[in-house]
Structure 1
Amino acid sequence: MGGEACSPGWQGVVAVVGAALLVRFAVGLGPYSGMGNHPKYGDYEAQRHWMEITVNLPVSDWYWPTSDNRLEYWGIDYPPLSAFQSWLYGHVLRQFDPDMIALKTSEGYETSYSKLLMRWSVVVTDVLVMFPAAFAAMRLVPGASGRGQIIVLSCLLLQPAAVIIDHGHFQYNSLSLGLALGGAIGVVTGRHVLGSVLFCLALNHKHMTLYYAPAFFSYLLGCSLRQKGPVAKVVAVSKCGLAVLGTFLVCWLPFMMRPGGTQQLLRRLFPIERGVFEDYVANFWCASAVLFKWKSWMGNEALMKACGLATLLALLPSMLHQIRWPSSHGFMYSMANSALAFFLFSYQVHEKSILLVLMPISLLVVEEPLVARMAPMVAMLSMYPLLERDGLALQYVALSAAFLCLPLQNGGPRKSAQPPAQSRTQRRKSGPQWTGAGWQTLDSLEWATASFVIFAALVLHAGRVAVPPPSRYPFIHDAAIVWFCCPVFLMMMCYLNFKQLTSLRA
């Protein structure tokens, strides 16, 4: 993100917004997590149940086990801002359908009207939070022409994994992702306190937003250390620190008033007994579990330390680079690298956490169209077992095909002559420059890579249909998807780290 670029045409913006709304409505017509699956249902029921709990019980009981709050039945396990969102939405939806959030009697409530209300609540969240953040972000991407800005907007609003998880599977990730994007816009435009507050709000909505914390920390620290004089440095660090502490205090104070409330909230947010991963997720620990039985060999405590060390080692190059050479370009790469490091190596990773990787990669589409094309396709494939259980195979195919058709490679110069002579320092600041021939080569590479991913996905899907899994290995097809996707994500992290460390010194 950098200075202002050319304004995009309003026709293009309207077209992207219209398409984004259309695909959300279309995906919302399908099934969702746990639909009709008595007695526990799924994520849809969890979100509805949280509205039921927050509207009918006092704040002090939201995270505590009581006779009216059975934590084993979808107890709230997201941070405070998510609980307050459920409280607000619950009060609004109660005006239209009181029965859908009635205490105890509404478990598994799935009328056509309540489904419509719930679906609309996700669309409204997108429009109020993610859409404005995407509009602001597209205007700040460096090097993007008016057409390039439309492509950035398309990548952010038509990103298939985010659409199918929020509007198909059923969640509200757009709120935390939109707040995090707003925080990123704030810090790269010099509004460090505002950016810190917005990012902390994102973190207090979904704690998996922690994936971005190293990028924010290193960039803000690097900018603070560039201030002139020790006093200015201390003041800059203190302002951001106070903004973080103040935001957390406001969000957590209602729960801290009850004795033991902080500890109970932390236990709900970080249930370490669940293990290093749930289901099949395309990260290092799950992919290697077929050879190394990590859970049996190490135990949870030792495995948590190993995950923490591995994640830190994967984060360090990107963090140190931004502390030494903070830049808006580098910050975008650092967000992607930080999220990839957490997704691949941290403890207790969910398959849906890949959404945090895709958002900053969407911002890099002007400079990294190949990665921006490949990452969402591989991410969709990695989540297919989850989507298949939800009955979203048709939406999976349609969204993947639609995203494949987006012209992502047109975000930069395509027919330029030789670029003007630049010094080595200027080249490092401006990043890679593409001549017309360079863009033609990239086009070919992009489509060749996309074709390879499509071919691999077809083979994996054909295997699921044509080859019954052996009784000894009933989840072999899910594991095969992990074994394909995990190395791709690893290569992606290595490449993006290489680009950040070699091309983006300020």
Structure 2
Amino acid sequence: MAKPKKSRNSAPDPSVAAQLPWRPSAPPLATFLLISFAALLLRALVSVGPYSGQGAAPKFGDYEAQRHWMELTLHLPSSDWYRNTSDNDLAYWGLDYPPLSAYQSRLHAHLINASLPDAVALRSSRGKLLMRWTVLSSDLMVFFPAALWFVWAYMKDGVGGSGERREGWTWLLAMVLLNPCLVLIDHGHFQYNCISLGLTLGAIAGILSRNELVAAALFSLAINHKQMSMYFAPAFFGHLIGKCLKRKYPIVEIMKLGFVVLGTFALVWWPYLHSYEAAMQVISRLAPFERGIYEDYVANFWCTTSVLIKWKRLYAIKSLKLMSLSATILAFLPSFIQQVKSPSNLGFLYSLLNSSFSFYLFSYQVHEKSILLPLLPASLLALHEPHLHGWFTYYALFSMYPLICRDQLLLQYIAVLGLFVLIYYSPGGNYGKGMKISSGTMAVLSLPLLCSILLHTMYLQIEPPKRYPFLFDALIMFICFSQFIILTLYTNYKQWMLDFHPRHVGSKKDL
């Protein structure tokens, strides 16, 4: 007896359909545009406020530094950008970022010079305002598309290995684009972290979408825009080497990555490769060891422990460099080894967080703004670790509170923190789907939270003792450092536990 012909329109067998790997369609364009518009509007509103060093002669803060670099790169040859000359006084905001950052300054200078030439006039425009749109446009052209690519790659790959990742892409995108710390620093304080972080985010998306050569090129560009992007280097290196070692021709795979990295660096550094002296002039500007192992009150190991151990007084710079290097390597080594041994996409995201945390906590000359680097992978893990993301974002923002107050951005600080809390606890959010926290743990974690809330008010309303003028800054540093240590121990543990819970490892089919 002949089998009945199957109708073309008949429904698929549910048992078979359930076994098929889920592949999402591209996120709805209207939803993405709505979230992007909200993120752009927030940035524009923050930009209306004060900026770093406003009216504070003679150096006028980071806002003026960025404008001054545009002035230099526009009017001087590339050979003089990193060299002390009559037109380039390195004591007045000498360029101290890699060449790609200088090229970005030159591009913006050409755009501004076409309409407002006085704003970038050589040696006569110091302290004048720079158009905020240069940061807005950089954010829109680099960070925004990288965020969308990451979310698409994350959802498509099923990072975390569970069906619940099919939902929540809008919440994840909002968590990445509406990062309160990045918005305040780039569009309030005034910097271009959105470019280096956007290039890094694009490289991460490249890893998740199995475009390793593109990822290597993008991450090389990120390093060449801001040297702090090296915070992520152990994670990228460990993950890519681990993947290469598991493929059929590991040496060939490693050589391909090496050629891409070397080619990208050669392209960016081409004007300085004609002589050893020219290259070293640039490199010497990128590593200002003479400033000491820390500045201001940053919530890392060296600054926090300096209350008891006077590192700068007890040790020479050479010894401190060696101690800092050793501590940083020891801190990221477990995470690095895990990725070489068992590379996975979820493990890679944890490794990015652990690696950047290691540099923030132990490396030489860390600024409070450097917390933006570990905060990026924490945002990318928001669906998988919502409690960690929320907790870390709050303390990362709190660690920069003294800086925000100096910049007179308190209103913007309250606004972006309030907006983040509203979105984080929104009905469509993912905060309730993370690990369950016991009442005892909550009680312990509540103590520093209450202290931080109290310090917000005390910092503004109470005059510290004359003998300890930076008492409240130090207390903020202590609280944030304690939370950062707890978080990095937890995330290192979670990364290594992936080896014992294969179902949470994420996609390994691309190895």
**Gap runs ≥5 in structure 1:** 415-433
Aligned to 2:5: none
Q: How far, CA to CA, are the matches of 2:339 and 2:62 in structure 1?
A: 37
Cα–Cα, structure 1 residues 262 and 3, in superposed 2: closer, same or farther, change >3 Å? farther
Decide which of 91, 106, 115 is 2:125's aligned counterpart. 106
Q: How far, CA to CA, are the matches of 1:182 and 1:323 in structure 2?
A: 22
Aligned to 2:450: 455
Decide which of 397, 407, 411 is 1:394's aligned counterpart. 411
The correspondence of residues 245-324 of structure 1 with structure 2, limited to 5 A, is 245-258=262-275, 260-324=277-341
Q: How far, CA to CA, are the matches of 2:468 and 2:364 in structure 1?
A: 25
Give, in angstroms, the shift of residue 463 of structure 1.
Answer: 2.3
Q: How far, CA to CA, are the matches of 1:132 and 1:444 in structure 2?
A: 40
Decide which of 327, 349, 354 is 1:337's aligned counterpart. 354
Decide which of 420, 441, 463 is 1:468's aligned counterpart. 463
Aligned to 1:20: 39
Q: Show CA shifts across 1:477-503 (max 9, x none).
A: 111100000010111101111111002
Cα–Cα, structure 1 residues 181 and 392, in superposed 2: closer, same or farther, change >3 Å? same
Cα–Cα, structure 1 residues 162 and 363, in superposed 2: closer, same or farther, change >3 Å? same
Q: Secondary structure at the match of 1:405?
A: helix
Cα–Cα, structure 1 residues 346 and 9, in superposed 2: closer, same or farther, change >3 Å? same
The correspondence of residues 152-191 of structure 1 with structure 2, limited to 5 A, is 152-191=172-211
Cα–Cα, structure 1 residues 26 and 94, in superposed 2: closer, same or farther, change >3 Å? same
Q: Show CA shifts across 1:95-124 (max 9, x none).
A: 1100001110111113xxxx4xx2111111
Q: In the alignment, is residue 198 of structure 1 matched against residue 227 of structure 2?
A: no
Q: Taking every aligned residue pair, what percent have the same amino acid on both sides?
A: 45
Aligned to 1:421: none
Cα–Cα, structure 1 residues 463 and 35, in superposed 2: closer, same or farther, change >3 Å? same
User: Do the aligned residues in 1 keep the contact of 2:82 with 2:281 (CA within 8 Å)?
Assistant: yes
Decide which of 30, 40, 45 is 2:49's aligned counterpart. 30
User: Do the aligned residues in 2 keep the contact of 1:369 with 1:408 (CA within 8 Å)?
Assistant: no
Q: How far, CA to CA, are the matches of 2:172 and 2:284 in structure 1?
A: 38
Cα–Cα, structure 1 residues 451 and 19, in superposed 2: closer, same or farther, change >3 Å? farther
The correspondence of residues 30-69 of structure 1 with structure 2, limited to 5 A, is 30-69=49-88
Q: In the alignment, is residue 328 of structure 1 matched against residue 341 of structure 2?
A: no
Q: How far, CA to CA, are the matches of 2:22 and 2:234 in structure 1?
A: 24
The correspondence of residues 370-449 of structure 1 with structure 2, limited to 5 A, is 370-407=387-424, 441=436
Rg larger in 1 or in 2?
A: 2
Aligned to 1:480: 475
User: Do the aligned residues in 1 keep the contact of 2:244 with 2:250 (CA within 8 Å)?
Assistant: yes
Q: Secondary structure at the match of 2:94?
A: coil
Q: How far, CA to CA, are the matches of 2:35 and 2:360 in structure 1?
A: 29
User: Do the aligned residues in 1 keep the contact of 2:387 with 2:431 (CA within 8 Å)?
Assistant: no
The residue type paired with residue 89 of structure 1 is H
Give, in angstroms, the shift of residue 404 of structure 1.
Answer: 1.2
Q: How far, CA to CA, are the matches of 1:379 and 1:485 in structure 2?
A: 7
User: Do the aligned residues in 2 keep the contact of 1:374 with 1:449 (CA within 8 Å)?
Assistant: no
User: Do the aligned residues in 1 keep the contact of 2:295 with 2:366 (CA within 8 Å)?
Assistant: yes
Q: How far, CA to CA, are the matches of 1:76 and 1:302 in structure 2?
A: 27
Aligned to 2:244: 224
Q: How far, CA to CA, are the matches of 1:262 and 1:239 in structure 2?
A: 25
Cα–Cα, structure 1 residues 314 and 299, in superposed 2: closer, same or farther, change >3 Å? same
Q: Secondary structure at the match of 1:95?
A: helix
TM-score, structure 2 normalization: 0.88
Q: In the alignment, is residue 135 of structure 1 matched against residue 154 of structure 2?
A: no
Give, in angstroms, the shift of residue 447 of structure 1.
Answer: 9.1
User: Do the aligned residues in 2 keep the contact of 1:147 with 1:411 (CA within 8 Å)?
Assistant: no
Cα–Cα, structure 1 residues 21 and 147, in superposed 2: closer, same or farther, change >3 Å? farther
Give, in angstroms, the shift of residue 470 of structure 1.
Answer: 1.6
Q: Secondary structure at the match of 1:406?
A: helix
Q: How far, CA to CA, are the matches of 2:212 and 2:125 in structure 1?
A: 44
Aligned to 1:499: 494
Cα–Cα, structure 1 residues 128 and 387, in superposed 2: closer, same or farther, change >3 Å? same
Cα–Cα, structure 1 residues 227 and 259, in superposed 2: closer, same or farther, change >3 Å? closer
User: Do the aligned residues in 1 keep the contact of 2:424 with 2:431 (CA within 8 Å)?
Assistant: no
Give, in angstroms, the shift of residue 187 of structure 1.
Answer: 2.2
Q: Show CA shifts across 1:4-54 (max 9, x none).
A: 546544453233212101110110000000111111111000000000000
Q: How far, CA to CA, are the matches of 2:23 and 2:443 in structure 1?
A: 33
Q: How far, CA to CA, are the matches of 2:253 and 2:420 in structure 1?
A: 42
Q: How far, CA to CA, are the matches of 1:451 and 1:331 in structure 2?
A: 30
Q: Show CA shifts across 1:442-491 (max 9, x none).
A: 69999989966653322112222343212221111111100000010111
Let me know the Cα RMSD of the aligned residues: 2.3
TM-score, structure 1 normalization: 0.89
Cα–Cα, structure 1 residues 451 and 491, in superposed 2: closer, same or farther, change >3 Å? closer
Q: Secondary structure at the match of 2:316?
A: helix
